[in-house]
Amino acid sequence: MRIGMRLLLGYFLIVAIAAWFVLSIFVQEVKPGVRRATEGTLIDTATLLAEVGREDLLSGDAQQGRLAQAFSQLHQRPFRANIGGIHKVRNEYHVYMTDARGRVVFDSAGLAVGQDYSRWNDVWLTLRGEYGARSTPGNPDDPESTVMYVAAPVVDQGRIIGVLSVGKPNSAMAPVIRRSERRILWAGGALLGIALLIGLAVAWWINRSIHTLSRYADSVTSDTPLPLPDPGSSELRKLAQALENMRIRLEGKNYIEHYVHALTHELKSPLAAIRGAAEILAEQPPPQVAARFIDNILVQNARMQSLVEKLLAQARLENRVEIVPVSVSVDALFTRLADARAVTLTAKNITLTRQSTPCCVEGDPDLLEQALGNLLDNAIDFTPQGGAIQLAATEAHGQVNITVTDSGSGIPDYALARIFERFYSLPRENGLKSSGLGLAFVQEVARLHQGTIDLQNRSAGGVTATLTLHRPFT
C-alpha cells in the first residue's frame, strides 16, 4: 500500500474516531439539554401561575376562578406557530392546583378535581418547602408518554396554602430533539466528507511529490537527468537537494574517468596523423611532399585544439548549477544566427527561412545562441546543395517551441537512441567527422533552462529539432 494511502487511512481513522466521540456526546446531551431548558421554562410558568391562582385558592372555588376562565378561553382559541420548522397548533400545558392537604381544587383538563395528589413528588416536596418535580407516564403501556411536572408553592402571608403544578408532555419536545439530532448527524457527515476530501488532497500531493522525487532519482542514472524538482515542502525540498548533491557527487566520480577515456579516444587519430607526418618529414622528403605533410600537421593540430576547446566549454556548462535568466527575443536570436552563417549558407546555396515571431523566452542569451547555433550548424552540414532550412517559434501553454527544420537525409534509425551521446557523430557530406559534442551541449543548455530538446525525422525528409523553453513571467 502506498504511503499516501496509509496516511489517508490513518488520518481518516483519527478524524472518524474523534467525530464519533464528539457526535455521540452531542447526541447524548441533546435530549437532557432540551428537557433541562424546558424544565426551566416550566418553573418560571408555575411560579407566575401560582401568583395568579392564589386568589382563586383563597376564594374556595378555584374551578370558577380567573385561572379556570383563562384556560377555558385558551382551549377555545386556536393558534398556529412555526418555530424553526416545527408547527405548534395547541396548548400543551397541563395545570392543576392543590390545597394545603394536597387535594386537587383546579385541573385545566377537568379530570382530577377532588383527587388526593399529596403523595406525588411535585406536591409532597413543595408543601414541605422543597423543590418539587416529577415525570409520570400518561399511559403505563407507552414509555414515550411521560409528562414532566414542575410545581411552585402558592404562598399567602408567608404560609404555603397550596401547590400549583405545570406539566408538559415529553413528546412535545421530541420534534426539537429529533431535529437537533438530525442536524448534528448531518454536520458530522459533512465533517467526515470534508475531512475525506482534505485527506485525499493531502495524499495526492504527497504521492505526487514522492513520484516526482522518484522520477528524478531514476533519471540520475540516465544520460538525460531531470531538473531538480520543487516538491513544495521544506522537508521534501531538503530530500530533493540531498538527491541532487548525490547526483553531482556520483557524476563527479565518473566525470574525470569518462572525459579522459573520451579525450584519449578522440585524440588518437590526429596524434597518429601528426606522428606519421613527422616521421616522413624526418626523412627530409622533397619540398612539395614536406609542404603537404606540414599542412596535415597544422590541420590535425587545429582539430585537436577545437576538440579541447569544445570539451572545456562542455565541462564548464555541465558544472553550472543555475543561470541568471532574462527575457530573450526569439526574433533577435534568429537574426543573429542567420547573419553569422550567411557566408556558409550562400556557399551551399541553402535557403534559410525565418519566421517572424513576437515570442520571447526566459534564459541566458549567450547559451541559447550557442545551442541554436549548434542546431543550425547541424542542419547546414546535413542539408544538400540547394536545400532549405526553416527557423520558427510557436507558443503554447506558457512554453515556446523553437524549431530548426532542414531538408536533409534525416537521422538513421540506429542513431536515434545515441544522437545526444558525447562524441557520437554521423558522417557529413564533406566526409569530415565532427567532435560529437554539439547536441550534447544543446542538451545541457536545455537542462539548465529546465526545458527539453527533441529531434524527429520528417516524413518528407530531413529533421525537425525542437527546443522547448519557458515563456517569461508577466
| C-alpha cell read off for 216 | 528524478
467 by DSSP, 3-state: which?
A: strand
Q: Helices 287-318 & 234-282, crossing angle to 10 degrees?
A: 170
pTM exceeds cut of 0.85? no
Average pLDDT over all residues of the chain: 78
Distance from C-alpha of 246 to C-alpha of 367, rounded to nearest angstrom = 26
Secondary structure E strands in 170-235 = none
State how far Cα 265 lies from the chain centre: 51
Backbone angles phi, psi at 403, to 5 degrees: -120, 140
Give the model confidence (pLDDT) of 91-106 as tens digits. Answer: 678 899 999 999 999 9
CA–CA distance, 210 with 418 (Å, rounded to integer): 30
**pLDDT given for residue 126 in this prediction:** 92
Give the residue among 472, 473, 467, 451 at the shortest CA–CA distance from 360.
472
- The rounded distance, in Å, linking the Cα atoms of 215 and 213 is 5
Between helices 438-448 and 287-318, what is the axis angle to 10°? 20
Task: Specify the pLDDT at position 274.
Answer: 78
Per-residue model confidence (pLDDT) at position 357: 84
Percentage with pLDDT > 70 across the chain: 71
DSSP codes joined into one string, 410-421 = ---GGGGGGTTS
Q: What is the 3-state secondary structure (H, E, C) of 82-129?
A: EECCEEECCCCCEEEEEECCCEEEEECCCCCCCCECCCCHHHHHHHCC
Q: Give which of 155, 145, 147, 146 is closest to 108, Cα–Cα.
A: 147
The arithmetic mean of pLDDT across residues 233-254, rounded, is 63
User: Smallest Cα–Cα separation from 35: which of 133, 140, 138?
Assistant: 133
User: Residue for cell digits 522537508?
Assistant: 235
Residue 327 predicted with pLDDT over 70: yes
Q: Which of 390, 391, 367, 331 is nearest to 442 (CA)?
A: 367
* Residues across the chain: 474
State mean pLDDT over 301-330: 68
Q: Give the helix/strand (H/E) hosting 29.
A: helix 3-59
State what percent of residues in the chain have pLDDT above 90.
14
**Could you report the per-residue pLDDT of 398-449, keeping only the tens digit for each?**
889 999 999 888 888 888 888 877 667 776 665 555 666 778 878 888 888 8
pLDDT bucket at 120, cuts 50 / 70 / 90: very high
What's the confidence (pLDDT) of residue 128?
92
Q: Outline where 358-470 has alpha helix (H).
A: 365-382, 438-448
The three grid cell numbers given for residue 245, joined into one nine-digit string = 548533491
Residue closest to 172 by CA, chosen among 151, 144, 152: 144
Does residue 188 surpass a pLDDT of 60?
yes
CA gap 423, 93 in Å, rounded = 100
223 vs 98: which has the higher pLDDT: 98
Query: What is the rounded CA–CA span in Å between residue 9 and residue 196?
Result: 9
- Find out whether 399 and 471 touch, Cβ atoms under 8 Å: yes
Beta-carbon neighbour count of residue 340 at 10 Å? 12
Q: Tens of pLDDT along 151-168?
A: 999 999 889 999 999 988
* Residue from 139, 147, 143 nearest 42 by CA: 147
